[in-house]
Structure 1
Amino acid sequence: MNYSQIPKEFNPGLFAPNYLTRQGLLKAISKNVPSLKGIMMDFGCGAKPYQSLFSVERYIGVDYEGDGHSHENENVDVFYNGKIIPFENEYFDSIFSTEVFEHIFNLKEILKEINRVLKPGGHLLITCPFSICEHEVPNDFARYTSFAIKHILEENGFEVIMQDKIGCSVTTIFQLWEMYIHQNIAPRLQKIPIVRSAFRIITYSILNSCALLLKSILPKGKELYLNNIVLVQKPHTQK
């Protein structure tokens, strides 16, 4: 798949501290792109970083305008009020939502809304983090285990078609270590440009390379992982 139109922030190189998470997400999302068709909603779309991956009839970005995240320079088509998605029943053929559910305090209510605007037989593809630092504060409310996210989706009328964990114990340990460095050590070097750049290039490229190498030779272990990815379907007949 061609990633040339994916923003660098979401398709980073080895020098980036979030390389392991972002590359894992990009590959997992790409694998499931063919399942989403027709009129599609990108729920919590932000800057729509993955839009170029999809070949759909219509791509509609919906987001919530609230504290913790600025939508400056983002191409949001429709804002919602945090409770009601402003579309009629069964409007969308498919829905995509990536790294959004952790920011929704009333997730069960919103899942009922997502179910309402999705056509019977339509697919919903979501990703949400399991291992990540607090972000977009104060709107960072939850982390979901694989069991919890499956239960919540099924409880709100969806059938799980595919569920997987992105990353493994090895890559997660390295990713958390890199984020600690990025947030607690790298800022101390901001006033020394040459040292700052050298530190970033050397440190992150070495850690990311080590993570990829060790992942290939050590038992991966999925007890600790980076992100959930789940593909569900709204049944043709709701119970």
Structure 2
Amino acid sequence: MLASLKTYYQRQMMRPGFVGLFVNPFYFARRELFHAVRELSRDINGRVLDVGCGTRPYESLVAAREYVGLELDTPENRRTKNADVYYNGHKLPFEDRSFDAVICNQVLEHIFEPDAFLREIARVLKAGGKLLLTVPFVWDEHEQPRDFGRYSSFGLAALLDRNGFRILRHAKTAADVRTLFQLANAYLYKVTVTRSAYANLLITLVLMAPFNLLGTLLAWLTPGNQDLFLDNVVLAERA
């Protein structure tokens, strides 16, 4: 029973539904990211590489013949055992043109040399291969000190273009008043988080769930704004 509840709770953290409104302090960010990735991942298939795979939250969304999770070779990543392959953070340990598609989810902001990183991704992709890339535009610093950038839609487009990628689709998540409420909740979470999961859940219910509900309501009542959003979600093709 407890294991089932834990699994359900973890799902509400990454793919929040109605319950996520009340228990997920990152409800708008995670929900919108999931929906955008689900929509754009329909063209991801074949042999797929997930660069910086983390917990592999979107693996089930793609029709992969083979799904390879890649992570930095660190003691923490070795301990979690979510990745299939570990590397040094520079050269991808794969042959040229060995993948049909690459997923890179919320990783690019942690890359100090993004051009070199994207050239490596282009190298291991087949001609015409797809890149599904997500990266923040507005978010607080995280995983410090390895947090090096935020990307406007135009900056990201230029970066991809000069490294051999053509954008097929580009989505902006929570491009409305929800961005403001999500940032407020991110602030509240950071200044109130404790070591107790139960205390954190109670704090979320009391302080952050009201912002999730109010943000949802106001998003229906107020106009959107494509100039202010949380994340870029891009489907691109290797030239």
TM-score scaled to structure 2, two decimals? 0.88
- Residues 7 and 49, structure 1, Cα contact 8 Å, conserved in 2: no
Report the 3-state secondary structure (helix = DSSP H, G, I; strand = E; otherwise coil) of the residue aligned with 1:32: helix
In the other structure, the counterpart of 2:5 is none
The match for 1:207 is: 211
Q: Write out aligned runs for 1:16-55 (5 A).
A: 16-55=24-63
Spell out, residue by residue over 1:66-93, the C-alpha distance to the aligned partner (whole angstroms, 9 max, x if none): 59x7553241111121221011110000
Preserved contact between residue 125 and residue 232 of structure 1 (Cα < 8 Å): yes
Task: Specify which of 156, 169, 175 is matched with residue 162 of structure 1.
Answer: 169
Deviation by residue 1:142-199 (Cα, 9 ceiling, x = unmatched) = 1011110110000000111111211123011001111111112x24x878x77x6544
More helix by share: 2
Counterpart amino acid of residue 204 in structure 1:
M
Could you tell me which amino acid in structure 2 is paired with residue 129 of structure 1?
P
Please tell me whether residue 133 in structure 1 is matched to residue 140 in structure 2.
yes
Native 8 Å contact 1:46 1:71 kept in 2: no
Counterpart pick for 2:14 among 10, 26, 33: 10
Q: Which residues in structure 2 correspond to 1:1-239 (within 5 Å)?
A: 7-12=11-16, 13-14=20-21, 15-65=23-73, 70=77, 72-184=79-191, 186-187=192-193, 197-235=201-239
Q: Greater shift after overlay, 58-67 or 41-50? A: 58-67
Contact 2:135–2:151 (8 Å) recurs in 1: yes
SS of aligned partner of 1:38: strand
Which secondary structure state, in structure 2, belongs to the residue aligned with residue 46 of structure 1? coil
Three-state SS of the structure 2 residue aligned to 1:169 is coil
- 1:122, distance to aligned residue in structure 2 (A): 0.7
SS of the residue 2:63 aligns to:
coil
Contact 2:77 2:83 in 1 (8 A): no
Whole-angstrom distance in 2 between the partners of 1:134 and 1:143: 10
Q: Distance in 2 between matches of 1:145 and 1:121?
A: 25
Q: Percent identity?
A: 35
Counterpart for residue 4 of structure 2: none
Farther-moved stretch of structure 1 (200-209 vs 69-78): 69-78
Gaps of 5+ in 1: none
Give 3-state SS (helix, strand or coil) of 1:148's partner: helix
How far 1:233 sits from its partner (Å)? 0.4
Unaligned runs of 5+ in 2: 1-7
Local SS of the residue matching 2:64: coil
SS in 2 for 1:142: coil
Number of corresponding residues? 227
Q: Distance in 1 between matches of 2:117 and 2:189?
A: 33
TM-score, structure 1 normalization: 0.88
CA drift at 1:8: 3.6
Checking the alignment, whether the CA contact within 8 Å between 1:61 and 1:76 is kept in structure 2 is yes
SS of residue matched to 1:58 = strand
